[in-house]
Each structure stands twice: as structure tokens, then as C-alpha cells.
Amino acid sequence: MAVAHRKLLRSRQVGSLLFLLCISVGSAATIRYSVAEEMESGSFVANVAKDLGLEVGKLAARGARLVSEGNKLHFRLHRKTGDLFVKEKLDRESLCGKADPCVLHFEIVLAEPLQSFRVEVRVFDINDNAPVFLNKEPLLKIPESTPLGSRFPLQSAQDLDVGLNGLQNYTLSPNAYFHLHTRFRSHGPKYAELVLDKPLDREEQPEVNLTITAVDGGSPPKSGIAHIRVEVLDVNDHVPLFSRLVYRAQVPENSANGSLVATVSATDLDEGSNKEITYSLAQNPEAVLQTFQIDSQTGEVRLRGPLDFEAIETYDIDIQATDGGGLSAHSKVLVEVVDVNDNPPEVTVSSVSSPLPEDSPLQTVVALFSIRDRDVRVGGKITCFLREDLPFAVKPTFRNSYSLVTDRGLDREEVSGYNITVVAMDTGPPSLFTETVIEVLISDINDNPPIFQEDSYILTVRENNSPAIFIGKVHAEDLDLGENAQVTYTLLPPQSGDLSVFAYISINSDNGKLYALRTMDYEAIQNFQFVVKATDGGFLSLSSQVTVRVVVLDDNDNRPMILYPLQNGTLPCNDLVPRSADAGYLVTKVVAVDGDSGQNSWLSYHLLKATDPGLFSVQQQNGEIRTLRQISERDPMIQKLIVLVQDHGQPALSTTASLNILLVDGFSEPYLQFRDPSKNPTRVNPSTKYLVISLAVLSFLFLLSVTVIFVIHIYQKVKYREKFTVQEHFYDDCNFPNNLVQGGTSGSLSQPCPYEMCSATGTSNSEFRFLKRFMPNFPFPHGTGEAKTEAGSSLPPDSDRNRSRGSEDHGRVPDNCM
């Protein structure tokens, strides 16, 4: 029943204390609460959101959490409601020991923005511990001759509670010899002394039994008892006498076990065994007995256990000296623990913002942490700094609390993360420090455009390629990460707005590979260029551009085309050569062009077939046909030549030109059109018809070009007022009927042909020596070294010299037949 009654009273006491919670908000955003110990897990403490002035739900939205300075949290926070609850049953004695007040510290950390609030919860003591005597049956040996008023200290009762709930008083059972006197220690619990009121008589009563009760101040009070047995000794009329009543000593807290603390000394005036003194630590608290020991013979007090200034600063040690007769005396040793700097600062990181965007502004809070140094008195001022030169700085917020902020700009492409070493150092001596590593990752933003590997690209493709063929690749690198580094390639139209380039080229938007969409023709287009744009995948995308030039390589896909003599399928135009011509006489010239370029357009001329191969030769480089020897009377009048025109491509392509040469005695003889009697008339093949039409169109364009050049030439002559005389004779035909060739006598000319009449100067013969075909002498650009035809073929430089020489030699070469 008594136990049930005590439990009921205890529950009422806890319940009453729950209503005495007090809340106070101090400076520097410190919130203070008060709770009673032994509160059950889940007990309500306070509403934090209300005390912080935050709306319900803000704690959850900002990720509120509790961070303790120690390793254990005693409370939990309900984020949705903001209520603070007890996490587990609180025992003030195990949390704080004898310290009063008992205050638990922790922080409430909020994110977005990063913010922290210090919270102090004071745990009030309840009377849940009764006073306890360590020795339940102490024994006192008191000589019968002990004078009245002698005092005998008793062991102190231990009560873990503090304040009013701690030990308050002692009571002694009724007896005839002693009364109880309660005394106070400067540091430690109260203790009681037995005061002798009546002389002891061993013969009358050799032993006295007493009961001492220790009572606390709780409501209801609790108590503990011990049974004291007093043994009355025979007469020993001198008690030991200490040299001092109080011994004082200072011991550094880092002293090793066995270190000498103090030496006590006592003397006894008795003789024999009554003079022999032994020393002991009598009636001392458990903390003293665990920390100190005394040599019973020498009185040397030495360390038995470690000292910790942060736990206990002073010790009050009772020393008892007992002689051989059982008499004892008491003295005190006051030990002052000297603080040394033996505790490095402790760093507690409460929150870290990682990863951190690389575009974070200066003074952005990266982490929050606090520093505590247990050596408050000797540690001196604490300095906090970073071990390395990093773009961060330590900034104090309030007492012993700091924030890690950005000090310079961040660039993820240079450094993707930091291991920040925070050093907390006291001033000592000796100076102690603690290093704490805070890892911060840097997140990427789209701040780098794609960069092409080359300033410009030149790609080549050979003409007559297959459609959709791969011709090259462009590549751009982006230093960013993820989507910010994903590059997409697109084609941009030229500044002229001509979109025809898109008909030739396409690009793979993912890898930058370029493809030719159609077959290239070098004769139509030799090169073109366009712009490729590389765009990254960032939210605000960045881009760069590069120019790509595509060069079309020539293939030998065009045969040489004969410009003169015309090979249009009609009756050929015959060239006249006087029989009086000497060796090397320029008869005519085969003119051909090749639509290709470079080596593929270099032409060479060869005499493939001739009526008399030994009479004429063809210059390989320029196609000039000259006589090899003096023409004789035995040479046939009609000379038929077939000239092979071949380019230098691989493989080489060629074509042939057929022409007739008439050997005449003079230019007054009729110039007959020759038709080969061996060739019978045949029906024209339709494909030949189209070929003839094509050649006719090309011939027309050639004549038109010559006419335009001629007009320009005349215009330039008029402009510079240069006079020249051109004699022109236009004949309607330059071909004779076939019957005249075969020996007919008709002398009429059926087709006109223009000639320039040239007389031989310096001779008595007034007859015309030859007819020179009239062609205007067109001016060519200075410095070229050669004349180029409209189709692009090269005329050798000596062609003009031949014309000039022909004029000086009275125009003996018929250059063209119009």
C-alpha cells in the first residue's frame, strides 16, 4: 500500500509540473522552455511554430529539423503542427548529475533560406530519489574517557536530487549519550556529527546502538537510514593531533595517477601502541574515494583516478588519524583542480547546403556550425578559419556559432566540388585545434556555349557521288554537364538568303555528321559554303556557329568537245592549201574544249588517220596541222584527216575530228565541196538527230559569243579612236558541187565563205597567193600568258603569234570557216 501511495503521489507531482512549463525567448533568437523530469515519451512541451511566429506548415515546407550539441536528441518535432514532444523519458540525474540548473541545448534548423534558432530546455528536478547511506552499519570506536562535547563526524547520505528535493536534514534515534549536529560543507552534501552528551562507561554499557535518518525536502519527503554501532573503548586519554586543521593543494587536471597531492601529519602524546597513528579517508563521498587514496603510514595523499576540471573543480577530503588505542582526530585537505588546456574545440555542423549552384551570389550561406571549448578559462579565445585558400569564408553569427559563406565566384568547370577543412583553434597554451571537413558539391548551370574544335571546316566531295553519302563531320564541345552539355546541330542559310544549299547538304542534329543529298556536278558548282549552328540543351540555351566550305572534286566525266572544225553531221568545210606551200606550212587548227578542270581538261592532239600520213602533222599541244614536206604534183588533191583529241584524265576520254584538205594550184580555182562517194546515204538515227540538234545549239551559242566579243572589240576601237581597215569578202558558200570535184567544168560557187584578200608584196605576180579566213583579233587580259575560250579550254600562247605571223606572211592560213 505504501508503494502504491508513493507512485500515486509521484504521478500527481509530475502532472502538476507539466502545467508549470514556462517559455521565454531570449536575445539572439534563443527560445527557452522548462519541463519536469520523468515526463513520459510523447509528452507535449510547446508549440515551436507559434513561438517562432511561423505559420502552421512552414516548418514542414522549410524542412525543419533538430540538431543537438551532443550526440543524442531528447526531443522530437512534429513538422506539420509545430509541436515539440519529449522523445524519451527524461532523467535529470543521468543528464546533469548534481548540476543545477539542468539545461539541454539544441537548435532548430530551417532551410530555404538557411536559418537556425537556439533552444534551451530546462529540466526541473522532482523528488524521485531518496537519500542513501553508502555504509548501512557504520562502526564507531569511542574511548570511555572521551570528554563531553566531543564530536564524531558521520558519513554523508547521498541524494541524487538537487535543491529542495536534495538532502535537507538528519535525525537521530532517542538515546542518553548523544545528540546530532548537522554541518555544511563548502562543496558537497551536508553531514552530521555525533556530540557526546553523557560520559561513556564501558563497564556499564560497552556498546551503544543508534539509528540515523537522512531526510530530503520533497513533498512528500523521502528518507534513508543507517544503523550506527558505537563501541566503547578502554581509556586512551590522548587523541592524535594534526599539524594543521586544513591542508590546501593545487593539482593540474592532467596529472597522472599516483601523483602526490598532499602529505598530512598527526602526532599522539600517548606511548606504546596508543601512539601509533594510521591515516584513512573517513566519511568521504564516493567521488573522493574514487579519485584519491592515502598511505595509512605516511599520510601521503595521492591520485587514484583522473581529474577533470570541467566536471569537478574542487575536492573536500576528510582525513582521519587514529592511534593504536582507537582515538582519532580529523583534518581536511582542500584540493583545487587547476584547469589546463587539454580539450580541443569541438565543432558541430548543424546544416550543409550541397550541391551549391555555381552562380550563387557572394555571401551565400553554405553551412551552419557551432564551436564549443570545454577549457573556458585557459583555452582563451577561439579562432576559426579555413585551412586552404578556397572561395569560401567563415562568418560569425552569434556566440560560438558560425556560418560558412561564399567569398568568391564559383566555376563548376574548374572545380566540381570542395572538401572544405574548417579549423577551430584555441590560444592555449598549448594551442589545440580541431579540423572538420565539410564536403560541398557544385551544381552546373548553363554558362558555357558549345565550342567547335576548328575555326572553320573544309570538306571535299567528289562529283558524281551517290546521294546521301557521308562527307564529313563537325563537332562542338560543351564544358557544362547533363542537358546543358547536349549539343544539337542545325544548318543556317547564308546571309544572302539563298536556301538552295539545303538541297545539297543535310546534317545529323545529334552528332554533326554531314551528308550530300544529291549528286554533285563539278561543272555546275565547284564549291559552296554554309553555316552550322551548335546549340546546347540548357534552359537558356547558348550557341556558336562555324563556317563549313564544301569543295567539289572533279571527275573525268566529260569528253573533249570539238569547236572547230564543226562536226555537225553536215558536209564538212574544206581547207585549201596551195601546192606551193613549203614544209611547216600552217594548214589549219583543231580547236577543242573539255568541261572538266585541272589535269582532266588538259588536251592532246594526235593524227589518227590520214590519206597520206607523211604529208601532215598535228601539234600535240595546240592542235595545229602543218605540212611535213613540200607538196608535190603526185599528192592527191583531196586529203582526208582524222584527228584524235584526248584528255589526261584517269581513265582518259577522247573524241575525233574529221576534216578535208584540198590541194590547189591557186585560189582562183574553184573550191569544191567534197563528198565521199564511198559513203552511201543512210537514214538518220533518231538518237543522232538529237545529237545533231545539241551540237547545233552549242554551235549557235559559240557563234553568238564570238559575235558579242567582236562587237565589244569594235566598241573599244571606236572609243580609243584607233583606225584600222578590215577588208571582208563574204561569199554565200565555200563548198563546190561534187561534180566539179570529179572533173566538172562548171565554175560557179554554190555556198559563200568569207575571206580576207591578201596580196603578195614584193613580187611581180599580181595574182592572189591565198585566201585568209577572217577572224577578229580580240584583245586578251595582260599577263595571262594564254587565251581562254568561253568554255574554259586553254589556247596555247603561240596561237596569237601564229596569227600574227600569218598576217606578216600575207595570211596564208585559213583559220575558220563560218
Q: What confidence tens digit (pLDDT) does each residue in 335-355 have?
A: 999 988 888 899 999 999 999
Q: What is the mean pLDDT of residues 205-212?
A: 92
3-state secondary structure of 573: coil
State the pLDDT confidence band at 569, using cuts at 50, 70 and 90: low
* Strand (E) or helix (H) holding 489: strand 488-492
pLDDT score recorded for residue 496: 67
- Residue ending a domain, choose from 283, 312, 338: 338
pLDDT of 726 over the 50 cut? no
Q: How would you classify the pairing of strands 292-294 and 300-303?
A: antiparallel
Give residue 29's pLDDT: 63
**pLDDT above 50: residue 784:** no
Give residue 667's pLDDT.
57
Residues 430 and 501 in one domain: no
Same-domain check for residues 183 and 278: no
pTM: 0.48
% of the chain at pLDDT higher than 70: 79
Tell me which range, 558-572, 598-612, 744-758, is most confidently predicted by mean pLDDT. 598-612
Instruction: Single out the residue in 217, 233, 249 at which a domain terminates.
Output: 233
The Cα 721–Cα 709 span in angstroms is: 18
Q: Which helix (H) or strand (E) holds 14?
A: helix 2-18
Average pLDDT value for residue range 657-664: 88
- Say whether 691 sits in a helix, a strand or coil: helix
Task: Judge whether residue 734 has pLDDT over 50.
Answer: no
- The CB density around residue 361, as the number of other CB atoms within 10 Å, is 8
Residue 804, pLDDT score: 35
Give the range of the structural domain holding residue 312, as residue numbers without chain letter.
Answer: 241-338
In the predicted structure, residue 657 carries a pLDDT above the cut 50: yes
Q: Is residue 687 pLDDT above 60, yes or no?
A: no
Given a cut of 70, whether residue 800 has pLDDT beyond it is no
Domain assignment of residue 736, yes or no: no
Segment 719-726 shows an average pLDDT of: 44
The region of weakest confidence among 63-67, 259-263, 344-348, 470-474 is 63-67
Do 544 and 565 lie in one domain? The reply is no
> What pLDDT is stored for residue 571 in this prediction?
55
Residue 172, pLDDT score: 92
The reported pLDDT for the residue numbered 777 is 35
Question: pLDDT value at position 6?
Answer: 37
Least confident of 101-110, 224-233, 413-422: 101-110
- Does 800 fall in a domain? no
> Within this chain, do residues 330 and 258 fall inside the same structural domain, yes or no?
yes
Residue range 145-188, pLDDT digits in tens: 888 999 998 888 888 888 788 888 899 999 999 999 888 776 66
**Number of domains forming the structure of the chain:** 6
User: In the predicted model, what is the mean pLDDT of the chain?
Assistant: 78
Is residue 218 situated within a structural domain? yes
What local confidence, expressed as pLDDT, does residue 139 receive? Answer: 92
- Is 542 contained in some domain? yes
**Mean pLDDT across 287-314:** 93
Q: pLDDT at position 232, please?
A: 87
CA distance 395 to 595: 80
**Residue 668 class from Cβ within 10 Å (0-12 exposed, 13-18 middle, 19+ buried)?**
exposed
Burial 44-68 (b: 16+ CB within 10 A, else e): ebbebbebbebeeeebeebebbbbb
Angle at 145 between CA 140 and CA 151, to 5 degrees: 50
Pick the last residue of a domain from 233, 264, 298: 233
Which of 115-124, 450-459, 652-661 is the most confident on average?
450-459
At residue 238, the pLDDT reads 79
Q: For residue 424, is pLDDT > 90?
A: yes
Residue 809 lies in a domain: no
CA distances from 679 to 65, 451, 557 (A): 112, 72, 32
pLDDT at 808 over 50: no
| 352 and 374 inside one domain | yes
CB-based contacts of 721: which residues, under 8 Å, 6+ apart?
Answer: none
Q: Tell me if 92 is assigned to some domain.
A: yes
pLDDT for 772 equals 35
Q: Are residue 570 and residue 637 in the same domain, yes or no?
A: yes
**301 and 222 in a common domain:** no
What is the Cα–Cα distance from 709 to 543, expressed in whole angstroms? 51
Same domain, 252 and 328: yes
Is-contact 181 197, C-beta < 8 A?
A: no
Residues 359 and 421 in one domain: yes
In a domain? residue 773: no
Q: What's the rounded mean pLDDT across residues 596-609?
A: 87
Q: Give the pLDDT score at 212.
A: 93
The residue ranking higher by pLDDT, 564 or 424, is 424
Give the pLDDT band of residue 453 (cuts 50, 70, 90).
very high
**Is 330 in the same domain as 247?**
yes
pLDDT recorded at residue 230 = 93
Residue 678 lies in a domain: no
Higher pLDDT, 120 or 724: 120
pLDDT for 403: 94
Residue 110 belongs to domain with CATH number: 2.60.40.60
